[in-house]
Structure 1
Amino acid sequence: MRVWAGLLACLLAGPVSAQDVRPIARPVAAAAPVTVQTPDEKTVRPLMRGSMAAKLAGTPLRPVPRPYTRPDLAFGAQTRAIFRAEQNLFAFSPLALRQSMRPLLRPASIEAAAEERRIARLRGQVCDDPAIQGTTVGAVPGPGACGISSAVKVRSVAGVALSQQAMMDCRTASALKTWVERGVIPAVGGEGGGVAALRVVGHYSCRTRNHQPGARLSEHSFGRAIDIAGIRLRDGSEMTLLTDWNSDDDGAQLRQMWRAACGPFGTVLGPESDRFHRDHFHFDTARHRGGAFCR
């Protein structure tokens, strides 16, 4: 109604000049101040990149990791570098030690006894090997082609005694030691307390093969062979090839020893080779063109 009343008043008043027309001033609201959010100690989220607030603030802000404050060290902890386990580390345990504990010195009597045993081993060694104990014999002449140029009489190898001292050369003695270390001792293990001795039934002897008339000379004739019939354990029991080769108790172990001998020795004969070896191992260091002969 007010609009129509105004128009009617203008018509009644007559024509209006351009000078009489003035713009009507309207109230203009004041611009709201722009607030820029800046991170402070309570801010948990950074300003979003590309936002207006970030542009007004200048360089986009990123979160900065705050330095870690080390807590007070517990009682007994070490901070000096000389007492640290590693550089730039420190202990927090109250049980941390200032210095590592050291064992007490051994009594002089123990050291003296150990030195005596060492000297005795060196004095009893043959073939320049402390693990082979015996005496040096030297040249052993024999009838015909028999004999040993440089013989030793072995009483133990690798800490395992021989039931009788065996005459042989150093090459055979070294092969016997290797077999005991790699074959006999691992095969027996802890059974019966371990290996105590080898039952030797043949070593140097000027004879033919298998004592057969007209046969070739055996390797025993040159000090290159040894025959073993059983393994005695520390509890007094014994593994014998005659009774235990096919047994359920020790058969597998005796076969393991037989396989271990094939390599250190050039010839390995066991109970399954022929009737002459059904009760013992025959080992010799003869060289064969085709490698070790094992049966």
Structure 2
Amino acid sequence: MTLEELISLEGIDVETFFKRYANLRLDYGAIEGSYEFKQLVANLYENVTPDNILQMNGATGGNFLALYALVNPGDQVISMLPSYQQLYDIPKSLGAEVKYVRLQADDNWNYDLNQLETLITAKTKLITLNNANNPTGTWLNRDQLEKLVQIARGVGAYVLVDEVYEPLIQRTNFTPIVDIYEKGISVSSLSKSYSLPGLRIGWTATNREIADLFRKYRDYTTICGGVLNDALAVVALKHREEILNRNRRIVSENLQIVKKWVASESKVSLVLPQAVST
């Protein structure tokens, strides 16, 4: 999405938009994100207040901060594979033992909760996943997540979920992990589903205790986003449905092209993605 396309959603041109901010001080700004940003993001969840929304440098910044704050040498982390590499390789670099719930093509890449039950132990500090999954496009619905939470709660494990593709899931039985688990960490951004990776704006949504822990670690890692980026992020969040409807249409059209090509290639098979754009 271009800068002009984004700003036009406000009903003004680029020049007028930037005149609004001509006297904006280019200091650190609101370290955790402006109040308007935090309020708009909090509105995406059922059980999160603006105080517990922390603006991050994309979802990668949120994932990194969560892993850096929670994982210690000797901890056990359970990730899904395939998944976003950050979610299992950073724990490894921090000295954790990483186990994998392995998604299988012959099971349509679905997450196997029975595998999780066999892997989890009293040493398990954290379970990581992305929902919807990148790269397979599968996702866990509310019932599946509630079963996962029950397993995690049994050993007191945190659950970190990268939810950047959630906005592309047009189903009522999806739920963010933070809304159903006291030790759940929802991470998202404006990059993938919103087509705005150049803003480098993401966030974490947690309870107060976890948010306060993250605050202690962010000062010398991610610090903050940019003040102009925050202003543009607010525009995107105010016009969320317009942007997502545009992007869902593009994804749907592109998927039809892929399906047509696969149908014409005898040596190619495909498990169709359910949610993501990769």
Please indicate the TM-score interval, normalised by the length of the shorter structure: under 0.3
Higher relative contact order (Cα pairs below 8 Å, separated by 6+ residues) = 2
Q: TM-score, normalised by structure 1?
A: 0.19
Indicate the structure (1 or 2) with the bigger Cα radius of gyration. Answer: 1
* Higher share in strand: 1
TM-score normalised by structure 2 residue count: 0.20
